[in-house]
C-alpha cells in the first residue's frame, strides 16, 4: 500500500514500525499476516486530506466533538488521524488511543466468542437455545390477524419451531428488544424474556432484538465464566486488546471520549453509560469500550482468516461462515443494514455492488455502534477502515460519508 500525491509516493508503514512510533501512547503490535499478503491499492494523500477537511468542518461547525480515523491495508496502517475534542466539556484534544463506547460493535466480538465454543465442540449452531437455557423453552408467538371488519386482533400461539443458536447469531430468533426495567444480570435478563412473547416465528424474519444479549447469557452458561472474563481470556488478552472491555480502569479515565451534552442534530440529551466501574449487567449487545487501534487488531484477525501475530482464534472456514449471508432475503428492516447487504453471524455482508448507495466490494462486512462508531473489512481490497466518534445523531450520515471518502482515496 502506498500513499500518492502530486506524483510522490509514500509506502504505508507496517504496524511493527507503527508500534515503535506510538509506544508512548500504547500503540498496537503488528497486524501483518504474511500468509495472506497480497497486492493492495495505492491511496491518494490528496484525497485523504479531503476526508480530513470534511470531518474537521463538522468539528468546527460543532456537529461532532471529534473523531479517530484509521485505515489499514494489507496489514499496514496507511492513515491515522485524531481530530477535534475528546472531551468537549473540558476541551481535551482527541488522542489516537482515545477510548470509545462502541455499543453494537460489541456484537461481533461476542459472536466470535460464541463461535469459539462451536469450534470447541461445546455448542452447535443447530442446537435449540432451550437446550442450554431452559428458561426460554416453549415461548409463544404473538400472532396478529385482521378481521373482515378491518380490526386487528392478537393472540398467543405456539412457535412453529424453537429458536436455535444460529437464529441468535443472525438475528432471526423472534426475540424483541423491548425489555422494560433495569436488568441486573444475565439471569435477570432470561427471567424477563421468559415472560415475553416472540414477535415472529423463529427463522422466518430478521429483527434487531435481544438475540445477542441471549448469546452472552449462553456463553456464560456454557463456559461457566462471566462474559467479561471469558472474552478477556479467549479474545482480548490473546489479541493484546488492552484497552477493550466492559468498563474503564481509573488510570484510563482521562482517555475516554465523550459526546456533546445535547446532540446538535437531534437536540436531545446524549445519555451514555459512564462505564467507570464494572457494570452489574454485562451487555453483550452493546456494553463494551475499545479504541480504534484495539478494534483494528480484532478486524485484522478476521481479515487474516482467524489469526493474528501467530495467535489463532478461529479457523478460516469459521470466519468464512460468519462473513457469509445467512438471512437469504428474509423480511426485516433496519437502518444500519443498507440495501445490497444481507447479514451473517455478527456482521452485515455485502451481496451486490449495485443497489447500495455507497461503494464497497462483494463480500465486505461491517457493523456500527449507535454511539457513533463504524468499521468495515473489505477482503477484496485487503482493507480495514475504522471511524470512531461519540455522536449518535450523525451516525447515519457518517456510515455513508466514510465509505464515499475512503474509497474515493483508493486508486
Can you give the residue ranges of every domain in the chain? Answer: 2-114+226-408, 123-223
CB contact at 8 A, 78 and 43? yes
Instruction: Please state, in angstroms and rounded to a whole number, the distance separating the CA atoms of residues 32 and 68.
Output: 21
Report the pLDDT value the prediction gives residue 82, as an integer from 0 to 100: 98
CA 22 remoteness from chain centre:
25
Report the pLDDT value the prediction gives residue 391, as an integer from 0 to 100: 97
Angle between the 395-408 and 45-60 helix axes, to the nearest 10 degrees? 160
Report the pLDDT value the prediction gives residue 40, as an integer from 0 to 100: 59
Q: Which fold has domain 2-114+226-408?
A: Beta-lactamase (3.40.710)
What is the grid cell recorded at 345? Answer: 453471524
What is the grid cell recorded at 302? Answer: 478476521
SS3 of residue 201 by DSSP: coil
Per-residue pLDDT 10s for the chain (411 aa) are 333 333 333 334 344 333 333 333 333 334 444 333 345 568 999 999 999 999 999 999 999 999 999 999 999 999 999 999 999 999 999 999 999 999 999 999 999 999 999 999 999 999 999 999 999 999 999 988 777 777 778 899 999 999 999 999 999 999 987 787 789 999 999 999 999 999 999 999 999 989 999 999 999 999 999 999 999 999 999 999 999 999 999 999 999 999 999 999 989 999 999 999 999 999 999 999 999 999 999 999 999 999 999 999 999 999 999 999 999 888 875 656 778 999 999 999 999 999 899 999 999 999 999 999 999 999 999 999 999 999 999 999 999 999 999 999 998
CB contact at 8 A, 35 and 77? no
Instruction: Please state, in angstroms and rounded to a whole number, the distance separating the CA atoms of residues 259 and 66.
Output: 9
Report the pLDDT value the prediction gives residue 336, as an integer from 0 to 100: 62
The torsion region of residue 217 among left (phi > 0), alpha (psi -120 to 50) and beta comes to alpha
Place of cell 440529551: 269
SS3 of residue 22 by DSSP: coil
CB contact at 8 A, 105 and 373? yes
Angle between the 292-303 and 106-119 helix axes, to the nearest 10 degrees? 40
Report the pLDDT value the prediction gives residue 150, as an integer from 0 to 100: 74
Report the pLDDT value the prediction gives residue 335, as an integer from 0 to 100: 59
Q: How far is CA 396 from CA 122, 371, 392, 393, in A?
A: 38, 11, 8, 8
Closest CA to 126 of 170, 171, 168, 164: 164
Instruction: Please state, in angstroms and rounded to a whole number, the distance separating the CA atoms of residues 405 and 49.
Output: 10
Other C-beta atoms lying within 10 Å of the C-beta of residue 361: 15
Closest CA to 307 of 26, 16, 34: 34
Instruction: Please state, in angstroms and rounded to a whole number, the distance separating the CA atoms of residues 194 and 137.
Output: 8
Amino acid at each position: 500500500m502506498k500513499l500518492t500525491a502530486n506524483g510522490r509516493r509514500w509506502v504505508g508503514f507496517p504496524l511493527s514500525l507503527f508500534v515503535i512510533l506510538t509506544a508512548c501512547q500504547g500503540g498496537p503490535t503488528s497486524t501483518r499476516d504474511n500468509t495472506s499478503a497480497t497486492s493492495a491499492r495505492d491511496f491518494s494523500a490528496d484525497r485523504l486530506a479531503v476526508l480530513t477537511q470534511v470531518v474537521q468542518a463538522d468539528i468546527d461547525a460543532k456537529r461532532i466533538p471529534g473523531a479517530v480515523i484509521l485505515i489499514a491495508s494489507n496489514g499496514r496502517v496507511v492513515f491515522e488521524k485524531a481530530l477535534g475534542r475528546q472531551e468537549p466539556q473540558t476541551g481535551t484534544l482527541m488522542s489516537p488511543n482515545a477510548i470509545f463506547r462502541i455499543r453494537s460493535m460489541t456484537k461481533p466480538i461476542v459472536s466470535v466468542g460464541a463461535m469459539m465454543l462451536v469450534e470447541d465442540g461445546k455448542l452447535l449452531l443447530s442446537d435449540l437455545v432451550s437446550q442450554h437455557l431452559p428458561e426460554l423453552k416453549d415461548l409463544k408467538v404473538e400472532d396478529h390477524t385482521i378481521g373482515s371488519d378491518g380490526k386487528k386482533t392478537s393472540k398467543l400461539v405456539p412457535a412453529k419451531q424453537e429458536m436455535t443458536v444460529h437464529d441468535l447469531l443472525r438475528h432471526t430468533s423472534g426475540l424483541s428488544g423491548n425489555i422494560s426495567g433495569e436488568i441486573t444480570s444475565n439471569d435477570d435478563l432470561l427471567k424477563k424474556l421468559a415472560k415475553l412473547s416472540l414477535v415472529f416465528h423463529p427463522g422466518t424474519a430478521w429483527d434487531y432484538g435481544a438475540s445477542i444479549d441471549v448469546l452472552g447469557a449462553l456463553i456464560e452458561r456454557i463456559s461457566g465464566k462471566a462474559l467479561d472474563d471469558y472474552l478477556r481470556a479467549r479474545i482480548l488478552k490473546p489479541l493484546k486488546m488492552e484497552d477493550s472491555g466492559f468498563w474503564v480502569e481509573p488510570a484510563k479515565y482521562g482517555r475516554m471520549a465523550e459526546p456533546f451534552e445535547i446532540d446538535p442534530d437531534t437536540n436531545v440529551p446524549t445519555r451514555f453509560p459512564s462505564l467507570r466501574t464494572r457494570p452489574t449487567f454485562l451487555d453483550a449487545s452493546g456494553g463494551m469500550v475499545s479504541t480504534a487501534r484495539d478494534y483494528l487488531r480484532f478486524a485484522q484477525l478476521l481479515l487474516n482468516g482467524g489469526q493474528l501475530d501467530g495467535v489463532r482464534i478461529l479457523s478460516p472456514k469459521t470466519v468464512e461462515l460468519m462473513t457469509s449471508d445467512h438471512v437469504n432475503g428474509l423480511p426485516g428492516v433496519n437502518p444500519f443494514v443498507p440495501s445490497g447487504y444481507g447479514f451473517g453471524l455478527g456482521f452485515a455482508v455485502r451481496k451486490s455492488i449495485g443497489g447500495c448507495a455507497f461503494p464497497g466490494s462483494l463480500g465486505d462486512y461491517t457493523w456500527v455502534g449507535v454511539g457513533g462508531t463504524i468499521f468495515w473489512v473489505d477482503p477484496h481490497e485487503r482493507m480495514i477502515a475504522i471511524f470512531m466518534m461519540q455522536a449518535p445523531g450523525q451516525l447515519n450520515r457518517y456510515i455513508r460519508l466514510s465509505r464515499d471518502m475512503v474509497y474515493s482515496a483508493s486508486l
